[in-house]
């Protein structure tokens, strides 16, 4: 008997300023993506009153979860993602940001996994210097650098057990919870995905497929800068495209 495929949940951490982008991201998933179980949308409790029911498309299979508020939600959203395993029992967790949109048909299991193992895409040639905070945080937490840049375009997928493993590494090395470790840092010196990828490389390498991804040609998901000066115009154009037959 063939084993059932591992459950994959999409995980989006958002807040009230990005709810219009969230709506478009969910529309793009509903239109283009197959093979996921559900979408977990996480937002601070203070954003709840800003959320309108029509911003969650019915076909997207979405569950909304509320989390604590943080004085700096840029750090807060990273803390949420580093504890994503507490919001879902899925074997694999695939992360999107609110401003990440799919633009072509996508079978999610085929995109993010091979032979039952998640694919981690890495950059062999980085535009970020080693001193960049999103790279140097790896050394600060893990004590050693990665031989590549882990920051590639969305989506990003990890096994459920990786999150607890990273929290345990932080506790063992720094004698503090990962949440406290993040809160003690400036927002430009933490990258949740850098920390997770480093944990996978240093401690769980054989559980993942590692792929060089210096070219992003034909990649079905694109991230838009929700804070860019042209964000309103870009969002309007994307909304038009996603609502056409």
How far apart are alpha carbons 227 and 245 in whole angstroms? 29
Mean pLDDT by 10 residues, the chain (245 residues): 76 96 95 96 95 81 95 96 98 97 96 96 86 92 95 96 98 98 95 98 98 84 88 92 86
pLDDT the model gives residue 108: 97
The pLDDT, as a whole number, for residue 4 is 62
The dihedral through the CA atoms of 119, 112, 171, 192 has a sign that is positive
The confidence score (pLDDT) of residue 1 equals 47
Q: Which fold has domain 8-242?
A: Spore Coat Polysaccharide Biosynthesis Protein SpsA; Chain A (3.90.550)
pLDDT attached to residue 206: 98
What pLDDT does 125 receive? 86
Write down the domain spans for the chain.
Answer: 8-242
Contact 95, 156 (CB under 8 A): yes
């Amino acid at each position: 008997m063939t084993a059932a495929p591992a459950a994959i949940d999409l995980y989006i951490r958002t807040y009230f300023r990005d709810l219009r982008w969230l709506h478009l991201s969910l529309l793009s998933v509903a239109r283009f993506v197959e093979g996921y179980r559900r979408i977990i949308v996480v937002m601070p409790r203070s954003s709840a009153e800003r959320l309108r029911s029509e911003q969650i498309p019915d076909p997207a299979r979405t569950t909304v979860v509320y989390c604590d508020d943080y004085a700096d939600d840029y750090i807060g959203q990273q803390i949420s993602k580093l504890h994503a395993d507490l919001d879902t029992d899925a074997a694999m967790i695939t992360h999107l940001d609110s401003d990440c949109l799919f633009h072509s048909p996508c079978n999610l299991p085929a995109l993010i996994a091979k032979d039952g193992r998640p694919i981690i895409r890495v950059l062999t040639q980085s535009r970020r210097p080693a001193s960049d905070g999103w790279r140097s945080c790896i050394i600060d937490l893990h004590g050693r650098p990665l031989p590549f840049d882990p920051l590639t375009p969305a989506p990003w997928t990890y096994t459920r057990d990786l999150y607890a493993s990273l929290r345990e590494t932080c506790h063992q090395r720094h004698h503090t919870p990962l949440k406290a470790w993040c809160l003690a840092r400036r927002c430009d010196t933490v990258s949740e995905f850098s920390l997770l990828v480093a944990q996978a490389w240093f401690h769980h390498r054989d559980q993942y497929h590692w792929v060089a991804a210096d070219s992003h040609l034909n990649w079905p998901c694109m991230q838009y800068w929700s804070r860019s000066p042209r964000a309103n115009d870009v969002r309007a154009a994307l909304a038009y495209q996603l609502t056409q037959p």
